Chain A
Amino acid sequence: MLSRLKAKVGSVLLPGDEFCLDTTGADTISLAGPSKANKVVCGPGLRRSGDRLLVYKSGLLRHKEPNMFWMDAQHKRYVPAKGETVIGIVTSKSGDVFKVDIGGSEQASLSYLAFEGATKRNRPNVQVGDLLFAQLIVANKDMEAELVCVDSAGRANGMGVFGAGGLLFRVSLGLARRLLAPQSDLRAELEQLFPCEMVVGMNGRLWVKSTGVQRTLVLANLLESCENLTPVQRRQLFGKLAQGAL
């Protein structure tokens, strides 16, 4: 039943494509074997309707063992999702919440208590226009998105206000995800070029800082051009740069 779907992994699918999932076996409870083995998990771009699997976004079909499927594409507009870390810009301070622009359809709210060591007395020093690295704890289509700058242990864990002397720019969401992937070739190659600091938000915002303005700009231009380069072209470009064509 999943073989047809698995055969399509890595190929282009369009909205309106559908697959039939035979759920007759999955619904009955079996005491002997593992009954949840064949449960299909639909990621972004796929939805279930009865025993059919419908594609609603164009892109490449991706698969992760055992039965997780999603559509991968190069989009530009961010749709907030719970648990993702994003780069936000503080747009206003009102009462006890900050309004933060994260590139979604509406601004996210961030409580001033959601910082490391913040109390009612001890307010964090956040100004309008500051950059924040924060995590979404509430993100669904019906509610306002909500951010925090602490992890579950109350530690900042890299989150909070940042961004003195660096450069912020936008890339496609696909490139941001590629940079964040655990074994990212692109990131490994960048690390070999020259020392730099980089903050990647899942919302397609990228902040870079290197030694000197010129190098920061070179890095930003490189990352922007990586969008449309094949791995071979990219290695050539990086090679040229390493040889001192800077």
Chain B
Amino acid sequence: MIMSDAIFSRPTHTFDGMMEECSPSTVSIREFGCEQNLLSRSDGSASFIQGNTSVLAAVYGPAEVKVSKEIYDRATLEVIIQPKVGLPSVKERAQEQCVRETCEASLLLSLHPRSSLTLVLQELHNDGSLLSCFLNAGCMAMMDAGLPMSCLFCGVTCAIHTDGTIITDPTAAQEAESRALMTFAIDSKEHQVMMTSTKGSFSVQEMQQCIAVSQAASEKIFSFHRESLRRRYSKSV
């Protein structure tokens, strides 16, 4: 299921009363696609591809939990990120935390107390916007596993180029020559920011512009969620 993204525009966004202009040429995301339920032994799985960036996600649970990790009134969520080569390092740990906190906010963990949920994310190829791809793959896998969620979420990465233009869903080359890099997790209900992860220097205006651009891009991903689920269940009616 590949959905090609044409350049789309949203002329104005309102933020705290001020109007901001984001020129349509910068609000484009690469082609993205997803395959669900591709692993046989996991409870839910998905692969998510954004351009050349590709991630494989698997969800296990609600399963038995170790006594040391048991929480009496909600499920224990564990996120494991596996890099393409080598062992997980500090960078992966930081990404794990970002993904875990986003998932915890969207999952209804209190419906499965004293159990464990495990989300394993395997990087297959990194061509920029890796954290947003982790978030998207994780959301699709959790949806496939049928975990109770209050809302869906998606990840969008924005890069601010040295000349000040905003690039959504940048490639690795675009990331390298950018002055700031921001990843937002956006919820499907109110299109609000759930998590941010930023690198580099930028002004408040630039950040708000990036949020506006990401919210516009997120609508594309949420409509893709619905379309892909509709295709999946088209057979079983």
Least CB distance from A61 to B in Å reads 11
- Whether A60 pairs with B43 at a CB distance below 8 angstroms is no
- Whether B151 pairs with A15 at a CB distance below 8 angstroms is yes
Least CB distance from A101 to B in Å reads 10
In the complex, whether A117 has a CB less than 8 A from a CB of chain B is no
* Cross-chain contact of B151 among A16, A59, A106 (Cβ < 8 A): A16
In the complex, whether B162 has a CB less than 8 A from a CB of chain A is no
- What's the Cα separation between A75 and B43 when bound, in Å? 7
Q: Write out the residue numbers on chain B whose beta carbons fall within 8 Å of the beta carbon of A59.
A: 146, 233
In the complex, whether B167 has a CB less than 8 A from a CB of chain A is no
Interface residues of B in 141-196 (CB under 8 A from A): 143, 145-152, 187-189
- Whether A14 pairs with B226 at a CB distance below 8 angstroms is yes
- What's the Cα separation between A165 and B115 when bound, in Å? 34
* Cross-chain contact of B236 among A74, A75, A107 (Cβ < 8 A): A74
In this complex, how many residues of chain B approach chain A with their Cβ under 8 Å: the count is: 36
Q: Write out the residue numbers on chain A whose beta carbons fall within 8 Å of the beta carbon of B2.
A: none
In the complex, whether A39 has a CB less than 8 A from a CB of chain B is no
Max chain B C-beta neighbours (<10 A), residue from A15, A56, A58, A228: A15
* Cross-chain contact of A56 among B150, B188, B225 (Cβ < 8 A): B150
- Whether A141 pairs with B235 at a CB distance below 8 angstroms is no
Interface residues of B, dominant DSSP? loop
- Whether A105 pairs with B64 at a CB distance below 8 angstroms is yes
Least CB distance from A177 to B in Å reads 11
- Whether A54 pairs with B146 at a CB distance below 8 angstroms is no
Q: Write out the residue numbers on chain B whose beta carbons fall within 8 Å of the beta carbon of A11.
A: 230
In the complex, whether B33 has a CB less than 8 A from a CB of chain A is no
- What's the Cα separation between A11 and B145 when bound, in Å? 19
Interface residues of A, dominant DSSP? loop
Q: How large is the interface on A (under 10, 10 to 19, 20 to 34, 35 or more residues)?
A: 20 to 34
- Whether A10 pairs with B237 at a CB distance below 8 angstroms is yes
* Cross-chain contact of B61 among A77, A228, A230 (Cβ < 8 A): A77
- Whether A14 pairs with B145 at a CB distance below 8 angstroms is no
* Cross-chain contact of B188 among A16, A57, A74 (Cβ < 8 A): A16
- Whether A105 pairs with B61 at a CB distance below 8 angstroms is yes
In the complex, whether B138 has a CB less than 8 A from a CB of chain A is no
* Cross-chain contact of A14 among B108, B147, B225 (Cβ < 8 A): B225
Q: Write out the residue numbers on chain B whose beta carbons fall within 8 Å of the beta carbon of A16.
A: 149-152, 187-189
* Cross-chain contact of B115 among A57, A74, A76, A105 (Cβ < 8 A): A105
Least CB distance from A132 to B in Å reads 19
- What's the Cα separation between A107 and B115 when bound, in Å? 12
Indicate whether A12 sits within 8 Å of B230 (C-beta atoms), given known contacts A105-B112, A141-B111: yes
- Whether B235 pairs with A228 at a CB distance below 8 angstroms is yes
Given A15-B106, A105-B61, A105-B116, 20 more pairs with CB closer than 8 A = A14-B229, A15-B143, A15-B149, A15-B150, A16-B152, A16-B187, A16-B188, A16-B189, A54-B150, A58-B229, A60-B233, A60-B236, A74-B236, A75-B146, A76-B145, A77-B43, A105-B64, A105-B114, A105-B115, A141-B112
A selection of 24 A-B contacts at a CB cut-off of 8 Å is A10-B237, A12-B226, A12-B230, A14-B143, A14-B229, A15-B188, A54-B150, A56-B108, A56-B148, A57-B148, A58-B229, A59-B233, A60-B236, A60-B237, A73-B146, A75-B43, A75-B146, A77-B44, A77-B62, A77-B63, A105-B62, A141-B111, A141-B112, A228-B235
Seen from chain A, the residues whose Cβ lies within 8 Å of a Cβ on chain B are 10-12, 14-16, 54, 56-60, 73-77, 79, 104-107, 141-142, 174, 228, 230
What 4 A-B pairs come out closest when comparing CB atoms? A16-B151, A75-B146, A105-B115, A15-B149
